[in-house]
Amino acid sequence: MHVSLSGWALPPAISLLLTGCIGVPPRGEPREETRTVSLGNAERANVRIEMKAGELRVSGGAGDLLQATFQYDDERWKPEVRYDVTGFRGNLTVRQRTGISIGPRSDLHHEWDLKLSDDVPMDLDVSLGAGRNEMDLRGMQLRQLDVRLGAGELDLNLTGPWKKSFETRIRGGVGKATVRLPKDVGVQARARGGIGEIKAHGLHREGHTYTNDVFDRSPVTLRLDIEGGIGEIRLELEG
C-alpha cells in the first residue's frame, strides 16, 4: 500500500506510519480560498508555517505581508491564519488544523500557494510533513530560517540575491531535501547526517563543514546548520 499525492508515492513503511495515527476526512467538494494579511504597524515579521500533508509553495513577491491561495476538499482542511502585532513585530501563523492527514487515499487534494513580502525583514519557521514542498526564497529579507522536514520532499532555493547575512537551520526527517545555494555570496554549511545521507555538489568539504569559493571574501554570508534524519539532504551550488 502506498500513500500518494498528485502522483507522488510514499514508501509502504512511511504509509503505515502516517495512516496508523491520524484519521482521514472524507472527500468533499473542492474549495478555493484566498487570504491577504497586511503588515500593519509592524517593522518586521515572525512567520510560522505548519503543513502536515499536501502540496506547499512558498515564494516572495507579495504586495502585502502575505497573499495566499488555499485549495482543499473538506471544510476540516480549512487552514488557520492568525496575525497580531506586538510592538514593532508582526506575528503570522499559517497552519493546518490538528488531526489532518492524507491517509491511505490518493484522491485527496490539499494545496497552498503562499507569497510573502520581499520588503519586510523576516524570521521564517517552517514545519513540513508528507507531500511536495517548494520554497523559492530568492530576494526576500530573511533574518533567520528554520525548516523541519517530515516524510515529504523539499526543494529549497536560496540562490539569492542576498543583501544581508542570515542563518538557516534544517532538520531532516524521512523525506528528501534539495537546498540550492548561491555562488556569488559566501556559504558555510555545517552538516551532520543521521541514518540518511548528506550529499554536496560544487562545495569544498573539510570534515562536516562545506564552503563555496567566495566564503571569507564576500561581505554577505549564508550560514547553514544541517542535521540529517533517515532521508537524504542534497546541497547544490548554483548560479
Q: pLDDT digits over 14-25, tens only? A: 444 444 344 444
pLDDT of amino acid 80: 95
For cell 512558498, name the residue: 58
pLDDT at 117 over 50: yes
Q: 239 falls in which pLDDT band (50, 70, 90)? A: low
Residue type, 22: I
Reported pTM: 0.84
For cell 502585532, name the residue: 85
* Of residues 132, 156, 148, the one with CA closest to residue 49: 148
Phi and psi torsions of 218, nearest 5°? -100, 140
Q: pLDDT digits over 130-185, tens only? A: 899 999 999 999 999 999 998 889 999 999 889 999 999 999 888 899 999 999 99
CB atoms within 10 A of CB 239: 8
pLDDT of amino acid 28: 63
pLDDT at 84 over 50: yes
